[in-house]
Amino acid sequence: MHNTSTAKINNKIKRSSPIVVFLKYMVLVCAVVIVVVPLIVVFLGSFKSHREFYNSGVFSPPTKLEWGNYKTAFIDGKVLLGLKNTIIILVISCFGTILTGSMTAFVLQRFKNHFSSTVKWLFLIATLLPSISMQVTVYQIILKMGLVDTIFAPIVLYVGTDIISIYIFMQFLNNISISLDESAIMDGASYFRIYFQIILPLLKPAIATILIIKMVGIYNDFYTAQLYMPSKHLAVVSTALYRFIGPYGGRWEVIFAGIIITIIPMLIIFLSLQKYIYAGLVSGSVKG
């Protein structure tokens, strides 16, 4: 199967026996199959009519494309509404996180004093708290703030409890030479100007990293929205899909269409930003 490629690779990598090369590809192909099979089943099923879904094998392609499933998922399943709400939350939270995160990092990393080292510790300790369990008491705070069942509950939480971003910004700031600040100070620039005109533009790669982490995190988060936004009109992608289980419980073809709809935006983003996503996750995790 891999005869020709084996030969080429053998030239590149010395002393890899054909068996090893074969095994390598076997492992990779197996991994891909395991990833793809569940998804293929969903894709095929999403185009079948209800009758066909239950009368055909899971791997058999649909005889006729049933777009109605997608229509049902979009309209009755409120996936579109979910996408809209998710995007609103995503945009505001990202904006908020980038602003507060970089400002905090700027103060903590540039101003070395007791205050900043204490605050650093406060943030560090906060990363230890198990986020879902914390909702037991965070819920009552959000309730008292009057934010339960408003779109602001998740936004406040995503902005206010994102400590990883602060760490990423601090790490990037570490690599921005302090002499830049100093020469600006010599020119009489204020810290505000230094931050907005010098530091923030230089933090672009950090911002990209955080945007990617946030995007994946918020798009995939389920429980924050489930707990804080029970109203139908406040559904996000996750909760819209979760609420499918009730009314469409037995109609897998519609659920599958809903699943495909939610996967597509992520697939597009992934295909177009692949490199940045890998780099972003790596730097985010290692540095955070």
Partner 1 sequence: MDKDTKSARTQAEVPRKGALSNYKVQKTITTITFMLIPLLLLIVLTYIPATNMLIYSFQDRTQFSVNDSFVGFDNYLTVFSQPEYFRPLLNSLYYLAGSFIQLSLALLLASIICSKVRFANIFKGFIFFPYMINGVAIALIFVRFFQLGDGFITTDGALNSIIKLFGGEGVKFLSDPLSANISLVFVSIWRYIGFDFVMFMGAIQSISPDLYEASDLDGANSWQRFQYIVFPSIRPIIGLQMILAIKGAISVFEIPYIMTGGKFGTSTFVIQTIETAFKYNKVGLASAMAIILLAIIIIVTVIQKLIFREEA
Partner 2 sequence: MKKVLALMLAVLMLGSIAVGCKKDDPVPDTDSSTPSSEDTAQGGSELSGTIKFIHHRTDRQEDGTMDKLAAEFNKIHPDVKIEFQAITEYATEIQTMMTSDNYGDVIMTPQSVKQEELADFFVPLGDKSDMSEKYYWVDGYELDGKIYALGHGGTASGILYNKDVWKNAGITDLPESPAEFIDCLKKIADKGEAIPYYTNYKDSWTISQWQSLVVSASGDANYENRLLTEEEDLFYEGSAYDAVYGMLYDIYSDDSLHESDPSTTDWEGSKTAFAEGNIGAMVLGSWAISQFQEAAENIGVDPAVVGYMPFPNKVDGEIYSVSANDYAMSVNKNSKNIEAAKAFLFWFCEESGFAEKEGLISVVKGNPMPEVLSSFDELKVKLIVAEPAPEELTGKFDKIAKDSEVDPWGDAANNFKFKLAEAAFGKKGRDEYNKITADVNKEWNKARDSVLGND
Give the residue with the Cβ less far from partner 2, 251 or 287: 251
Which residue from 195, 219, 248, 256 is in contact with partner 2, where contact means CB under 8 A?
Answer: 248
Contacted by 184, from partner 2, partner 1, none: CB < 5 to 8 Å by type: none
Query: Could you please report the per-residue DSSP string of 206-235?
Result: HHHHHHHHHHHHHHH--HHHHHH--SGGG-
Which residue from 47, 70, 106, 169 is in contact with partner 1, where contact means CB under 8 A?
Answer: 106
Give the residue with the Cβ less far from partner 1, 58 or 65: 58
Which residue from 167, 169, 219, 228 is in contact with partner 1, where contact means CB under 8 A?
Answer: 219
Q: How many residues belong to the site for partner 1 (CB under 8 A)? A: 108
> Alpha-carbon distance 113 to 198, whole Å?
22
State in angstroms the smallest separation of the CB of 115 from partner 1: 7
Query: Interface with partner 1 includes 114 (CB under 8 A)?
Result: no
What tokens appear for 187 in the block?
């020119």
Do 266 and 90 meet the contact criterion of CB atoms below 8 Å apart? no
Do 205 and 196 meet the contact criterion of CB atoms below 8 Å apart? no
Please give the residues from 147 up to 206 whose contact with partner 2 meets the rule CB under 8 A: 148-149
| Angstrom distances, CA of residue 128 to CA of 136, 163, 193, 221, 224 | 16, 10, 34, 19, 18
How far is the first Cα of the chain from the last one, in angstroms, to the nearest whole number? 43
Please give the residues from 217 up to 246 whose contact with partner 2 meets the rule CB under 8 A: 230-232, 245-246
Query: Interface with partner 1 includes 285 (CB under 8 A)?
Result: yes
CB atoms within 10 A of CB 9: 16
Query: Interface with partner 1 includes 282 (CB under 8 A)?
Result: yes
State in angstroms the smallest separation of the CB of 234 from partner 2: 11
Cite the DSSP H helix spans in the chain: 3-12, 18-45, 50-55, 68-75, 79-110, 114-126, 131-144, 152-160, 164-174, 178-186, 191-193, 200-202, 204-220, 223-228, 237-242, 245-248, 252-287
Query: Interface with partner 2 includes 249 (CB under 8 A)?
Result: yes
Query: Interface with partner 1 includes 35 (CB under 8 A)?
Result: yes
**Residue span 258-277 as binding mask against partner 1, x where in contact by CB under 8 A, dash where not:** -x--xx--xx-xxx--x--x
Which residue from 7, 18, 27, 65 is in contact with partner 1, where contact means CB under 8 A?
Answer: 27
In the complex, which residues of this chain contact partner 2 (CB under 8 A)? 143, 148-149, 230-232, 245-251
